[in-house]
Amino acid sequence: MNALIIEDERLAADKLQKLLTELEPDITIVSRIESVIDAINWLNSHEAPDLIFMDIQLDDGVCFEIFDTVKIDTPVIFTTAYDSFAIKAFQVNSVDYLLKPIEKVALFKALEKYKSIYQSRAAISEKLKSIPNQFQTSYKSRFFVKIGTHFHTISVDDIQCFFIQERAVFLRTNQGKKYDLDHSLDQIQQMVDPASFFRINRNYLIHISAIQDIFSYSANRLGVKLKMMDHLDMIVSREKVTDFKNWLDR
């Protein structure tokens, strides 16, 4: 377990670290921080720890200033000598509120509480993530579409891309025909094989074999052109560029 200690008194931090090491021999104290400003800088430049211990009164202000500046999803155990901040502490991800001098039993209980809530939650969410993979071994091979009073079925290999236009979702075939669908683009993305289809941005889910050209659009961004298609907004969003390159090169 990786823990961060935010505490302005060295001796208080020493004591907490000593108790933690006794109770959790596997714990790693990733850093000890004494001020609001250092906490903000640290949290902005490091991977989030598993747990944060936080004193309320710090060298240069009250710890809640940190939450106003950095988004913190990590559970927090607050430590304080005597304060009326408990209510405020519960508005953030607090596991517990420890009073100084910190008693070993109280710290033990706080750690147990953390484990029962957050570690089991993490385990469950891991399991939930793997469920779709277990069930969805086969991807959709055809889409059923309606044109006026006629019905068609279109093979997935015949589809160039799926896209959103004026809030409606369409598929476009290799022949340049366009059909509207009832599913959302997010749903379709789950249905089709990710080896063949890639969601380049919010509006486009494209097939690998439909790509005619890829060009650099601006620093860190790529543009895509599909065969026989002249849409100009097919830009790979910045945060997806790396995944997109990996997908092209798998």
Partner 1 sequence: MREEKLIFQYETLKSQVNPHFLFNSLNTLSSLVATDGQLSEQFINKLSSIYRYILENRDIDLINLSKEIGFVNDYFFLQKIRDNGKIDLIIDVKKTENYEILPISIQLLVENALKHNSATREKPLAIKIYQESENLIVENALQPKMHLEPSSKTGLKNLSERVKLVLNKEVQIESGNGIYKVKIPVKQIQ
Q: What is the footprint of partner 1 within residues 81-140 (CB under 8 A)?
A: 81-83, 99-102
* Count of positions on this chain that bind partner 1 (CB under 8 A): 25
Interface with partner 1 (CB under 8 A), residue from 21, 22, 28, 59: 59
Identity of residue 63: C
Nearest Cα to Cα of residue 145 among 133, 131, 136, 158: 158
- Binding of partner 1 at residue 18 (CB under 8 A)? yes
Contact map string, positions 61 to 80, toward partner 1, x by CB under 8 A:
xx--x---------------
Query: Which residue, 70 or 164, is less far from partner 1 as judged by CB?
Result: 70
- Minimum distance from residue 50 beta carbon to partner 1 (Å): 24
- Binding of partner 1 at residue 9 (CB under 8 A)? yes
Let me know: does 36 contact 65? Beta carbons within 8 Å: yes
Query: Which residue, 37 or 181, is less far from partner 1 as judged by CB?
Result: 37
> What is the token pair recorded at 166?
């004026």
- Binding of partner 1 at residue 31 (CB under 8 A)? no
| Rounded Cα distance, 163 and 179, in Å | 10
Query: Which residue, 82 or 151, is less far from partner 1 as judged by CB?
Result: 82
- Binding of partner 1 at residue 46 (CB under 8 A)? no
Query: Which residue, 83 or 158, is less far from partner 1 as judged by CB?
Result: 83
> What is the token pair recorded at 12?
């208080």
Query: Which residue, 81 or 124, is less far from partner 1 as judged by CB?
Result: 81
State the virtual CA torsion across 41, 47, 48, 54 in degrees, nearest 10: -40
User: How many angstroms from the chain centroid is the CA of residue 159?
Assistant: 30
Angle, in degrees to the nearest 10, between helices 104-114 and 10-23: 60
> What is the token pair recorded at 247?
């997908």
- Binding of partner 1 at residue 32 (CB under 8 A)? no
- Minimum distance from residue 103 beta carbon to partner 1 (Å): 9
Ramachandran area for residue 148 (φ above 0: left; ψ -120 to 50: alpha; else beta): left
| Rounded Cα distance, 234 and 88, in Å | 45
Bridge partners of residue 161, in order along the sequence: 172, 206
Q: What is the footprint of partner 1 within residues 136-175 (CB under 8 A)?
A: none
Which residue ranges make up the site for partner 1 (CB under 8 A)? 8-12, 14-15, 18, 34-37, 57, 59-62, 65, 81-83, 99-102
